[in-house]
Structure 1
Amino acid sequence: MSVDDFRTHDGRCVVAEDRLRIQPGRRGLFGTLQQALTDDEIPPIRRAGVALFLVAAAVGAVLAVRTLPVWFSGAIAGLLLAWLAWKAIQSRDGEGEVVIPFADIEGIEPEYGLPLLTRPRFVIRYRSEGGVKRRYLLTPSRLYGFGAYERGKDLFEERGLLEQPTPDDEAA
């Protein structure tokens, strides 16, 4: 039985012989960054770049706190804490593993996204509950997700799940 997987935004996507399993991550934002820094699939020079970016962001935050007015720094800290609390609530109430049999998948459309604005993703169209549903499968950020999107695209193409462009799409 052939089983392959690739990283998603907050977990893994397992492409088995007859089904797709989307496993949510349980480690949150910092766990994803830690995985990006320790993942052997990412070249060491790029991991060093991620680490330097994180250090630069931390230094920038410290300098901002020291130079901005106290009320503004407090407002930013409050918004940051509210965002972290919201993420913690979302991860606790999130859905578990999703399993989609290949027989139900109508097609998977890869979308590279807009550089620096959106993450690369896959739009999975599948039959469920008498209709066709769409599920967006986000891959890691371009900052630390080196190769995850391309690996997912290759795996879906090997299984014949990617939507093939029609002649009308190519002409446009």
Structure 2
Amino acid sequence: MSFNLANPVNTALLVYILYTVQRILFPPKSLPKTIPTEFKNGYSWMPKSHPPTLLYKKYTPKTLEPFNGQEGKRILLAISGVVYDVTAGRNFYGPNGMYANFAGRDASRGMAKQSFDEEMLTSVDQPLDKLQDLTPEEIDNMKGWMDHFSSKYIVCGELVENDAI
């Protein structure tokens, strides 16, 4: 098998290989004229603002209630004693979202039963819902929601009884 430059395909491949080797060995040395500040002019890894710092802490139903997304505030919800920061999902959990009634509340029963009804929520003045009457399928459903939330949102605390703090 011989390499014949009379064949135009071989000639084109040789020129391409030589050009590629030249670009690898002698890369261009020109620098951009301006430092990129946004994606239109180039990539900038610097965020526009630092995300808010989250501290892992204990919440009671009363201290969790203000985190309902009203007036642009953070949105937290709890499932089975675990508190998640769902602010990134404001379209779903914020005011006028389809899960808005769970914002700032214990959503365990509603998530287990796949219900958005207000009756699924325990009053913030009452003890935490023990969820003892849930079926095994409903408990599995709630655990599935917890897996979903744990993979998508930040765990920022635990929900405890009103008198525990």
Q: Same fold (TM over 0.5)?
A: no
Higher helix share: 1
Pairwise TM-score range, normalised by the shorter structure: under 0.3
* TM-score (structure 1 length as normaliser): 0.24
Larger Cα-atom Rg: 2
Greater share of strand residues, 1 or 2?
1
Q: What is the TM-score normalised by the length of structure 2? A: 0.24
